[in-house]
Protein backbone atom coordinates (compact mmCIF):
# COMPACT_ATOMS: atom_id res chain seq x y z
CA UNK A 1 0.00 0.00 0.00
CA UNK A 2 1.19 3.50 -0.72
CA UNK A 3 1.51 5.89 2.20
CA UNK A 4 -0.07 9.32 2.13
CA UNK A 5 0.40 12.39 4.28
CA UNK A 6 -2.85 14.12 5.16
CA UNK A 7 -2.37 17.81 4.36
CA UNK A 8 -3.56 20.38 6.85
CA UNK A 9 -5.61 22.11 4.18
CA UNK A 10 -7.33 18.95 2.91
CA UNK A 11 -9.64 16.47 4.58
CA UNK A 12 -8.43 12.86 4.80
CA UNK A 13 -9.23 10.70 1.81
CA UNK A 14 -12.72 9.20 1.95
CA UNK A 15 -13.38 5.53 1.29
CA UNK A 16 -14.76 6.45 -2.14
CA UNK A 17 -11.72 8.53 -3.11
CA UNK A 18 -9.38 5.75 -2.00
CA UNK A 19 -11.37 3.27 -4.09
CA UNK A 20 -11.22 5.54 -7.14
CA UNK A 21 -7.48 5.96 -6.65
CA UNK A 22 -7.06 2.19 -6.50
CA UNK A 23 -9.13 1.77 -9.66
CA UNK A 24 -6.88 4.31 -11.41
CA UNK A 25 -3.84 2.22 -10.51
CA UNK A 26 -5.53 -0.96 -11.75
CA UNK A 27 -6.55 0.72 -15.02
CA UNK A 28 -3.09 2.09 -15.70
CA UNK A 29 -1.50 -1.24 -14.83
CA UNK A 30 -3.69 -3.09 -17.33
CA UNK A 31 -3.73 -0.59 -20.19
CA UNK A 32 -0.42 -1.44 -21.78
CA UNK A 33 1.53 1.54 -20.41
CA UNK A 34 4.56 -0.41 -19.23
CA UNK A 35 7.93 1.00 -20.26
CA UNK A 36 6.53 4.47 -20.92
CA UNK A 37 8.83 7.49 -20.60
CA UNK A 38 8.61 11.28 -20.69
CA UNK A 39 11.52 13.72 -20.76
CA UNK A 40 11.86 16.82 -18.58
CA UNK A 41 14.76 19.28 -18.68
CA UNK A 42 15.82 21.48 -15.77
CA UNK A 43 17.61 24.85 -15.54
CA UNK A 44 17.71 26.47 -18.99
CA UNK A 45 20.73 27.96 -20.75
CA UNK A 46 22.08 31.51 -20.60
CA UNK A 47 23.57 32.91 -23.81
CA UNK A 48 24.95 35.87 -21.82
CA UNK A 49 27.29 33.57 -19.89
CA UNK A 50 27.49 30.41 -22.06
CA UNK A 51 28.86 31.11 -25.56
CA UNK A 52 27.33 27.94 -27.03
CA UNK A 53 23.97 28.23 -25.27
CA UNK A 54 21.97 28.99 -28.41
CA UNK A 55 23.64 26.13 -30.27
CA UNK A 56 22.93 23.58 -27.51
CA UNK A 57 19.39 24.81 -27.01
CA UNK A 58 18.62 24.50 -30.71
CA UNK A 59 20.24 21.07 -30.91
CA UNK A 60 18.05 19.75 -28.10
CA UNK A 61 14.91 21.22 -29.66
CA UNK A 62 15.80 19.89 -33.12
CA UNK A 63 16.46 16.41 -31.72
CA UNK A 64 13.10 16.41 -29.91
CA UNK A 65 11.32 17.50 -33.09
CA UNK A 66 13.05 14.83 -35.19
CA UNK A 67 12.12 12.19 -32.62
CA UNK A 68 8.52 13.47 -32.41
CA UNK A 69 8.83 13.92 -28.63
CA UNK A 70 6.99 16.53 -26.59
CA UNK A 71 9.01 17.46 -23.49
CA UNK A 72 8.86 19.95 -20.62
CA UNK A 73 11.42 22.49 -19.42
CA UNK A 74 11.76 23.84 -15.88
CA UNK A 75 13.86 27.04 -15.97
CA UNK A 76 15.63 28.43 -12.94
CA UNK A 77 16.42 32.13 -13.25
CA UNK A 78 19.78 31.52 -11.56
CA UNK A 79 20.76 29.33 -14.51
CA UNK A 80 18.88 30.93 -17.43
CA UNK A 81 19.08 34.57 -16.38
CA UNK A 82 16.25 36.94 -17.22
CA UNK A 83 17.48 38.12 -20.64
CA UNK A 84 18.61 35.97 -23.55
CA UNK A 85 18.14 32.82 -21.50
CA UNK A 86 14.41 33.43 -21.32
CA UNK A 87 14.41 34.04 -25.07
CA UNK A 88 15.74 30.50 -25.41
CA UNK A 89 12.95 29.24 -23.16
CA UNK A 90 10.48 30.96 -25.47
CA UNK A 91 11.89 28.76 -28.24
CA UNK A 92 10.75 25.74 -26.18
CA UNK A 93 7.29 27.22 -25.78
CA UNK A 94 7.01 28.04 -29.51
CA UNK A 95 7.90 24.44 -30.26
CA UNK A 96 4.99 23.33 -28.06
CA UNK A 97 6.94 22.10 -25.04
CA UNK A 98 5.43 22.88 -21.63
CA UNK A 99 7.20 25.35 -19.33
CA UNK A 100 7.22 24.96 -15.54
CA UNK A 101 8.96 26.61 -12.57
CA UNK A 102 12.35 25.66 -11.08
CA UNK A 103 12.55 28.74 -8.81
CA UNK A 104 14.58 31.93 -9.16
CA UNK A 105 17.65 31.11 -7.05
CA UNK A 106 17.86 27.31 -7.33
CA UNK A 107 18.16 26.89 -3.56
CA UNK A 108 17.50 23.61 -1.78
CA UNK A 109 14.53 23.45 0.57
CA UNK A 110 16.46 20.75 2.43
CA UNK A 111 19.14 23.27 3.40
CA UNK A 112 19.04 24.44 7.00
CA UNK A 113 20.04 27.88 5.69
CA UNK A 114 16.88 28.21 3.54
CA UNK A 115 13.62 29.01 5.32
CA UNK A 116 10.17 28.16 4.02
CA UNK A 117 9.36 31.84 3.44
CA UNK A 118 12.62 32.35 1.49
CA UNK A 119 11.86 29.34 -0.67
CA UNK A 120 8.30 30.52 -1.32
CA UNK A 121 9.79 33.85 -2.45
CA UNK A 122 12.07 31.98 -4.89
CA UNK A 123 9.05 30.17 -6.32
CA UNK A 124 7.02 33.39 -6.57
CA UNK A 125 9.87 35.18 -8.37
CA UNK A 126 10.16 32.33 -10.85
CA UNK A 127 6.40 32.37 -11.34
CA UNK A 128 6.37 36.10 -12.10
CA UNK A 129 9.02 35.69 -14.82
CA UNK A 130 7.74 32.48 -16.40
CA UNK A 131 3.95 32.51 -16.42
CA UNK A 132 3.92 34.74 -19.53
CA UNK A 133 5.02 31.82 -21.71
CA UNK A 134 2.20 30.43 -23.88
CA UNK A 135 2.74 26.82 -22.75
CA UNK A 136 3.12 27.72 -19.05
CA UNK A 137 1.94 25.10 -16.56
CA UNK A 138 1.96 25.95 -12.82
CA UNK A 139 4.13 23.04 -11.74
CA UNK A 140 7.15 23.22 -9.45
CA UNK A 141 10.31 21.17 -9.93
CA UNK A 142 12.13 21.35 -6.61
CA UNK A 143 15.86 22.17 -6.98
CA UNK A 144 17.95 19.05 -6.38
CA UNK A 145 14.61 17.20 -5.94
CA UNK A 146 14.70 18.25 -2.26
CA UNK A 147 11.26 18.94 -0.79
CA UNK A 148 12.22 19.89 2.76
CA UNK A 149 14.36 18.76 5.66
CA UNK A 150 11.61 19.27 8.24
CA UNK A 151 7.91 18.40 8.35
CA UNK A 152 7.14 22.10 8.76
CA UNK A 153 8.90 23.05 5.52
CA UNK A 154 7.65 20.02 3.57
CA UNK A 155 4.00 20.39 4.62
CA UNK A 156 4.13 24.18 4.49
CA UNK A 157 5.26 24.07 0.86
CA UNK A 158 2.56 21.52 0.01
CA UNK A 159 -0.03 23.82 1.56
CA UNK A 160 1.32 26.85 -0.34
CA UNK A 161 1.15 24.99 -3.66
CA UNK A 162 -2.43 23.88 -3.06
CA UNK A 163 -3.48 27.40 -2.10
CA UNK A 164 -1.80 28.90 -5.17
CA UNK A 165 -2.90 26.47 -7.84
CA UNK A 166 0.44 24.67 -8.11
CA UNK A 167 1.35 21.03 -8.46
CA UNK A 168 4.69 19.46 -7.68
CA UNK A 169 6.55 18.01 -10.66
CA UNK A 170 8.36 14.97 -9.25
CA UNK A 171 10.36 12.50 -11.29
CA UNK A 172 10.29 8.74 -11.18
CA UNK A 173 13.68 8.27 -12.86
CA UNK A 174 16.57 10.28 -11.45
CA UNK A 175 20.08 10.23 -12.93
CA UNK A 176 23.44 12.01 -12.79
CA UNK A 177 23.46 13.64 -16.20
CA UNK A 178 24.93 16.78 -14.66
CA UNK A 179 28.07 14.83 -13.66
CA UNK A 180 28.43 13.10 -17.02
CA UNK A 181 28.06 16.53 -18.58
CA UNK A 182 31.01 17.86 -16.54
CA UNK A 183 33.23 15.02 -17.75
CA UNK A 184 32.00 15.23 -21.33
CA UNK A 185 32.45 19.02 -21.45
CA UNK A 186 36.00 18.75 -20.11
CA UNK A 187 37.02 16.37 -22.90
CA UNK A 188 35.16 18.38 -25.51
CA UNK A 189 36.86 21.60 -24.42
CA UNK A 190 40.32 20.02 -24.53
CA UNK A 191 39.69 18.60 -28.00
CA UNK A 192 39.66 14.96 -26.87
CA UNK A 193 36.73 13.99 -29.08
CA UNK A 194 37.37 10.25 -28.85
CA UNK A 195 37.18 10.47 -25.05
CA UNK A 196 34.05 12.61 -25.28
CA UNK A 197 32.41 10.01 -27.52
CA UNK A 198 33.23 7.30 -24.98
CA UNK A 199 31.72 9.38 -22.18
CA UNK A 200 28.57 9.83 -24.26
CA UNK A 201 28.32 6.07 -24.72
CA UNK A 202 28.80 5.51 -20.98
CA UNK A 203 26.19 8.18 -20.29
CA UNK A 204 23.53 6.47 -22.40
CA UNK A 205 24.30 3.20 -20.62
CA UNK A 206 23.89 5.06 -17.31
CA UNK A 207 20.45 6.36 -18.28
CA UNK A 208 19.31 2.91 -19.38
CA UNK A 209 20.59 1.44 -16.13
CA UNK A 210 18.81 4.05 -13.99
CA UNK A 211 15.57 3.60 -15.95
CA UNK A 212 15.74 -0.16 -15.44
CA UNK A 213 16.43 0.28 -11.72
CA UNK A 214 13.57 2.70 -11.04
CA UNK A 215 11.14 0.72 -13.19
CA UNK A 216 11.98 -2.40 -11.21
CA UNK A 217 11.62 -0.53 -7.93
CA UNK A 218 8.26 0.85 -9.09
CA UNK A 219 6.97 -2.64 -9.80
CA UNK A 220 8.09 -3.62 -6.30
CA UNK A 221 6.38 -0.74 -4.46
CA UNK A 222 3.44 0.03 -6.79
CA UNK A 223 2.89 -3.34 -8.37
CA UNK A 224 3.11 -1.80 -11.82
CA UNK A 225 5.24 0.22 -14.21
CA UNK A 226 4.05 3.84 -14.12
CA UNK A 227 4.27 6.45 -16.84
CA UNK A 228 7.83 7.48 -16.03
CA UNK A 229 9.19 11.02 -15.83
CA UNK A 230 12.96 11.33 -16.27
CA UNK A 231 15.10 14.18 -14.97
CA UNK A 232 17.56 15.66 -17.47
CA UNK A 233 19.19 19.09 -17.82
CA UNK A 234 19.64 21.56 -20.64
CA UNK A 235 23.35 20.94 -21.16
CA UNK A 236 26.03 20.05 -23.67
CA UNK A 237 25.92 16.27 -23.31
CA UNK A 238 22.17 16.11 -23.89
CA UNK A 239 22.55 18.36 -26.94
CA UNK A 240 24.95 15.73 -28.31
CA UNK A 241 23.50 12.47 -26.96
CA UNK A 242 19.74 12.88 -27.27
CA UNK A 243 19.26 11.10 -30.65
CA UNK A 244 21.32 8.09 -29.57
CA UNK A 245 19.63 8.03 -26.17
CA UNK A 246 16.14 8.05 -27.66
CA UNK A 247 17.12 5.32 -30.12
CA UNK A 248 18.55 3.18 -27.31
CA UNK A 249 15.35 3.42 -25.26
CA UNK A 250 13.13 2.72 -28.25
CA UNK A 251 15.25 -0.30 -29.17
CA UNK A 252 14.43 -1.73 -25.74
CA UNK A 253 10.70 -1.16 -26.20
CA UNK A 254 10.26 2.12 -24.32
CA UNK A 255 7.52 4.40 -25.64
CA UNK A 256 7.72 8.19 -25.27
CA UNK A 257 4.77 10.30 -24.09
CA UNK A 258 4.52 13.97 -23.17
CA UNK A 259 5.16 14.97 -19.54
CA UNK A 260 1.69 16.51 -19.45
CA UNK A 261 0.34 13.01 -20.09
CA UNK A 262 2.75 11.29 -17.71
CA UNK A 263 1.98 13.66 -14.82
CA UNK A 264 -1.59 12.37 -14.96
CA UNK A 265 -0.36 9.10 -13.45
CA UNK A 266 -1.57 8.89 -9.81
CA UNK A 267 1.98 8.28 -8.57
CA UNK A 268 2.83 11.96 -9.08
CA UNK A 269 0.07 13.06 -6.71
CA UNK A 270 1.30 10.99 -3.77
CA UNK A 271 1.99 12.89 -0.54
CA UNK A 272 4.77 10.70 0.84
CA UNK A 273 5.78 10.75 4.50
CA UNK A 274 9.60 10.85 4.39
CA UNK A 275 12.23 13.19 5.83
CA UNK A 276 14.26 14.62 4.34
CA UNK A 277 11.56 14.74 1.67
CA UNK A 278 12.23 14.38 -2.01
CA UNK A 279 14.35 12.28 -4.40
CA UNK A 280 12.57 10.18 -7.03
CA UNK A 281 8.93 9.66 -6.10
CA UNK A 282 9.54 5.92 -6.54
CA UNK A 283 12.56 6.02 -4.24
CA UNK A 284 10.61 8.05 -1.64
CA UNK A 285 7.69 5.60 -1.67
CA UNK A 286 10.12 2.70 -1.28
CA UNK A 287 11.67 4.44 1.74
CA UNK A 288 8.24 5.09 3.26
CA UNK A 289 7.45 1.38 2.86
CA UNK A 290 10.65 0.44 4.71
CA UNK A 291 12.45 -1.17 1.78
CA UNK A 292 16.10 -1.63 2.70
CA UNK A 293 19.32 -1.02 0.78
CA UNK A 294 18.24 2.37 -0.58
CA UNK A 295 21.27 4.61 -0.97
CA UNK A 296 21.11 8.31 -0.07
CA UNK A 297 21.33 10.51 -1.95
CA UNK A 298 19.73 8.28 -4.53
CA UNK A 299 21.93 9.63 -7.36
CA UNK A 300 25.29 11.38 -7.12
CA UNK A 301 28.72 11.64 -8.70
CA UNK A 302 30.18 9.44 -5.95
CA UNK A 303 28.51 6.42 -7.57
CA UNK A 304 29.51 7.33 -11.12
CA UNK A 305 33.12 8.42 -10.67
CA UNK A 306 34.49 4.88 -10.10
CA UNK A 307 32.77 3.67 -13.28
CA UNK A 308 34.31 6.40 -15.40
CA UNK A 309 37.67 5.95 -13.67
CA UNK A 310 37.65 2.24 -14.52
CA UNK A 311 37.11 3.21 -18.17
CA UNK A 312 39.97 5.76 -17.99
CA UNK A 313 37.52 8.51 -18.87
CA UNK A 314 38.12 10.98 -16.05
CA UNK A 315 39.94 14.15 -17.13
CA UNK A 316 43.54 14.25 -15.98
CA UNK A 317 42.86 16.65 -13.10
CA UNK A 318 40.03 14.41 -11.83
CA UNK A 319 41.85 11.10 -12.11
CA UNK A 320 44.29 11.62 -9.27
- Every domain of the chain and the residues it spans: 25-318
Q: How far apart are the first and last CA of the chain?
A: 47
pLDDT at residue 219 above 60?
yes
pLDDT at residue 156 above 90?
yes
pLDDT at residue 45 above 50?
yes
pLDDT at 27: 43
pLDDT at 20: 38
Over the chain, what is the mean pLDDT? 91
pLDDT at 31: 42
Confidence of residue 316 (pLDDT cuts 50, 70, 90): confident
HEC profile for 9-34? CCCCCCHHHHHHHHHHHHHHHHCCCC
Confidence of residue 290 (pLDDT cuts 50, 70, 90): very high
Distance, CA of 177 to CA of 203 (rounded, Å): 7
pLDDT at 318: 56
pLDDT at residue 21 above 60?
no
- Strands 98-101, 136-140: pairing is parallel
DSSP 159: H
pLDDT at 56: 98
Query: What global pTM score does this model have?
Result: 0.90
pLDDT at 125: 98
Distance, CA of 155 to CA of 150 (rounded, Å): 8
Give me the mean pLDDT over the 297-317 stretch.
Answer: 96
**Residue closest to 127 by CA, chosen among 115, 135, 139:** 139
> pLDDT for 177-194, tens place per residue?
999 999 999 999 999 999
pLDDT at residue 319 above 80?
no
Give me the mean pLDDT over the 296-313 stretch.
Answer: 97
CATH 3.30.499.10, applies to 25-318: no
> pLDDT for 114-145, tens place per residue?
999 999 999 999 999 999 999 999 999 999 99
Distance, CA of 156 to CA of 114 (rounded, Å): 13
Asked whether the beta carbons of 77 and 68 are under 8 A apart, the reply is: no
- State CA 273 to chain mean position distance: 20
**CB atoms closer than 10 angstroms to residue 195:** 20
pLDDT at 34: 55
> pLDDT for 75-101, tens place per residue?
999 999 999 999 999 999 999 999 999
Among 5-19, 156-170, 239-253, the range scoring the smallest mean pLDDT is 5-19
Amino acid sequence: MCRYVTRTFKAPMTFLSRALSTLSFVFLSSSGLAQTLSLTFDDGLNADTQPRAREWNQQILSHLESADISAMVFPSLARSGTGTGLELIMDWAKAGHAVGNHTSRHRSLASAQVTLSEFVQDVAEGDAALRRFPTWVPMLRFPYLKEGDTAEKRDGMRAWMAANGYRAAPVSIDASDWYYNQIYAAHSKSGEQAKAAQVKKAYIAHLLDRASYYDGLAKQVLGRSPMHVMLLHTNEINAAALPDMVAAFRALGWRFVSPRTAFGDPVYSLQIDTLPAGESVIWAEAKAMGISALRYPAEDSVYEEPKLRSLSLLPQASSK
